[in-house]
Structure 1
């Protein structure tokens, strides 16, 4: 390795270390609040138009996958804009660190859904609870780089996910509300914590 290559590698390592040591300011309260309202809207729509979610699991999952994609676009767009504004020269590194922290949980959720649909559709009732547990793990994985208080929504998602699994074990039924309510509460809680952290930093 030439001296130039070594120097460039050292610069990258230093930038990565700096990014890991700073609080990530890319998550915005407005996008997170919007995703909480989207979760409520999706639950309400499925409650009205989906007569039997358990008998139509693909329609149920399709609605929530669509909601997740829209949520990811909203959060991603705000993350990109805020990271550019808040972190300047470290923007790309900070953004990549944030994505890497959540990526394992997101990938696990997608793969779980795929496996259950293909090989064990009778166990799809477990997905809402498992998804909430995975969101909890994603939040706990990033707690060091997010404002203090983020562990509270992480704990909420863990408790809610386990409760949903316990409730669903009785009849193996899918319900829009076991998805909509936990995600709405969790996302709105996150939005409130980030909004408060932003006000404190402005002061």
Structure 2
């Protein structure tokens, strides 16, 4: 009986020591903004008043290893298209397929992308602006080449008509699904840089 009492006492003491070590609070004090900002934040945001709040979680999905991405567009199938600069590359990325080079245009930049209701993806390039129709298999065709230096933005209406914002002359072009284009609007400004519905 005495042996059991000693064994039980040792067990209780060991349990208390273990629990005590497991629950040691750690505190620290930050007294300046610089000290707070020198820390490493993960999924937190700092309000200008100094209050810490939950922030967005940032995940690197896939890296196409290109210095500048000018345009991103989600297609109707959920794939993400990327237009890049200095090399005129267009990448396609999806959950099932890693980011891969889909098409390389003649121009230096792919500055605008848009997705139509039927899943067609369009790309606008700079300089010597052209519009390309892209397919998921890597094929592409130039469908419109206005006498414009810059294609700044693209958008597609529900009927599939593509609108193109340009620079140097400040025109918006309207391109029908069969590729016929005309000036839709001529601005007094030299550049129209965004479009939307």
TM-score between both structures, scaled by the size of structure 1: 0.21
Q: Name the one with the larger strand percent.
A: 2
Q: Which has the higher contact order (CA 8 A, sep 6+)?
A: 1
Q: Name the one with the larger helix percent.
A: 1
TM-score between both structures, scaled by the size of structure 2: 0.22
